[in-house]
Structure 1
Amino acid sequence: MGGIGVDHAFLALERELAVFLRRARASSGELAREVHPDLESAAYGLLMRLEDAGEQRATDLAAYIGVGKATMSRQLRALEGLGLVTRAPDPADGRAFLVQLTDEGRARFRRVRGARRARYARRLAAWERSEVAELARLLHRLNSSQEADEPGQTARVERDQ
């Protein structure tokens, strides 16, 4: 890898990730609209985090998603307006709020997520189960290394807690 030569492995990775990300963005928009026709595509990941991790402080959600407080507040107001999330005072800190899915939000999200998993299963039907697990492991490793490299991520999480 050292030096001036072109590393074809990284060129191939860049190319494949670009295609993957373009398709993922389009898919997120479709999935968000399946949850609710007025839902922004970026909100699907927010709903996923609430489903997976349970109630969260808005500042923790913003740090996890990688957006500022103002953007998170706007997204949460929109989700509340659609009846998908609710905010309640945090008993540990009266200045903060905990965000959670409503029953309607959870039901809509789970229906769409189940359909998405079924699509993955169909697309990867020819893959060995171990290959799917390896892809998940490698993507987790990539995501973890990206989180560690994002400037301000650790400071933002520590500041908001």
Structure 2
Amino acid sequence: MREFPRLPHRDPPARRPAATLARLALTGACALAVSACVTAREQRAMDRGSCAEYGFEPGTDAFAQCMMGVTQHREMLAQDRRIAMQTQIAAQNREDERRRDLNRLASLQRSGDRSYPVCSASSFNNSGFDARSGSWYGPNCRAR
């Protein structure tokens, strides 16, 4: 019996979340791009082909039910994708807000510490303006 050479050890996907997430995002983007290239007429023809493959005869009530079911299924999947995207955006917005709050708090705590520069609009990429205190904040600066 022939033995195959062992492949080098790789970390499981759980240890590489960024790479896994990037791969998943790329796969999703490709699938979305490909699905966006199908016209309504082509989609209808593919649906008809699917229902015919299931054994339904065109022009019958069963065929019409199949077509309706396929359409509803596609609409449900699209709705699920929209909800997932909205959930992802909301999570990212919460994370961004949390990061801004931490930067704001750190900048306020550094007030008066001359080892940090005073925050300004043009100083840092992640700077922001705190309307409550009337001062700029950022990850590596002080409020005043």
Q: Which has the higher contact order (CA 8 A, sep 6+)?
A: 1
Q: State the TM-score, normalizing by the size of structure 2.
A: 0.28
